[in-house]
Copies of this chain bind each other. A is one copy, B any other.
Amino acid sequence: MRERTGSRHVSVKDVAARSGVSFQTTSKVLNGGGSVSELTRARILQAASDLGYVPNLQARSLVMQRTQTIGVITSDFSDHNLSRVLVGAEQEARRQDYGVIVSSIEPEGSGTEYALPAMMERRVDGILLAAPQLEEDMALEHVLDRRVPAVSLTPVPGGGVSMVGVDDVEIGAIATRHLLERGHRAIAVVTGVRGRHDTEKRLRGYREALQRAGVAFDDQLVEEGGRDSDGAMRATQRLLARRPDINAVFAQNDMLAVGVLAALRNAGRRVPDECAVVGCDDIDIAPYTAPPLTTIHVPFYEIGSEAMRLLLGAVMDGAATERGVVLPVRLIVRGSTGQGAAR
């Protein structure tokens, strides 16, 4: 079928030559426009297929002034949650015939100076910001300046960017309320990286829930777990040493919860009898930890696809109406907070 065409890609001109019409006419039939007789249309299509013609999107976007490409800036997509978001985003983009080019910035912050210009050079039609830690990055203002619409999963400094996410205050409250309902009063928190919006908001939800229940907040019960299970394990050890009376832990995400469970196990505390644990995210293995982890399900896939949908919407009709979308979360009760059903 397809002929070996030396080294160059076959262009619309090659197809035109073979079917004996001008290349512009060829272009017409290949992209659907104009009026072309049935006969020549057939001939051209035949020639295109014979030659194995593949349109050149670069050239097309040059004249069309749109690349059909979305840039995704992410911190580290080996982060399981983020990668789920990316899958959702990518599939939604694909559904709407957009390509996705990704750039991960260093986990520890900078890299934006590189990533953003790289996207701009490629003239992406929109930018999806999926990197928690660039909350503080002022270089981000560049994005806003530019003509290109952006959607973010975290608040961005300058504002003016649509956001998609969950209600982190509510997450903190749900987790805490659940533990309170189970009768726990000495509820510790192992937090994510301090200073980040989600961390602080979940903490706020925790405080609010305590207050509403008439339980005093005690900052001795808060410890930073950071970004991985190891940090959470050490944080838990510190907590147990400081306040041996703890009988529940709210781990701000499931990776942290895994570390918390390990620490409790090592300390000989039985879960949930001696100490209950609730996580957040509902990662794949949550049902298989020992004991199975009660957690709050966060719809990462949907966050990704919704963010992309929003972004593509903005791309289509240049009207960049700043919006905020909040997706629902839900508590999933498993063994780590006892077997009974708490509604």
Chain A residues near B (Cβ < 8 Å): 2, 7, 9, 54-59, 61-62, 67, 69, 76-78, 80, 83-84, 86-87, 90-91, 94, 99-104, 114, 117-118, 120-123, 145, 147, 228-230, 233, 255, 258-259, 261-262, 265, 284-285, 287-290, 292, 301
Contacts and interface: CB of A to CB of B under 8 A. Distances in A.
Given A7-B147, A55-B121, A229-B288, 13 more contacts: A54-B117, A58-B122, A69-B122, A78-B80, A78-B84, A78-B87, A99-B118, A255-B285, A262-B290, A265-B290, A285-B285, A289-B289, A290-B290
Contacts of A289: 289-290
Contacts of A77: 77, 83, 86-87
Given A54-B117, A101-B100, A290-B261, A123 B9 contact: yes
Contacts of A86: 77-78
A59 B56 contact: no
Contacts of A118: 94, 99
A91 B259 CA distance: 28
A94 B61 CA distance: 23
Contacts of A62: 56, 58-59, 62
B233 A259 contact: no
Main secondary structure of the interface of A (DSSP, over half): helix
Contacts of A230: 287
Contacts of A147: 7, 9
B57 A123 contact: yes
B76 A87 contact: yes
A104 B90 contact: yes
Contacts of A259: 288
B122 A258 contact: no
Contacts of A122: 57-58, 69, 99
Contacts of A233: 288
A255 B77 CA distance: 18
Nearest to A6: B147
A37 to B, nearest CB: 27
Which of A54, A76, A91, A117 neighbours the largest number of chain B CB atoms within 10 Å of its CB?
A: A54
Contacts of A265: 290
A229 B121 contact: no
A147 B6 CA distance: 9
A137 B84 CA distance: 25
A122 to B, nearest CB: 5
A94 B117 CA distance: 13
A55 B54 CA distance: 26
Given A57-B122, A62-B59, A83-B78, A102 B90 contact: yes
A262 B285 CA distance: 10
B90 A99 contact: no
A259 B289 CA distance: 9
Nearest to A262: B288
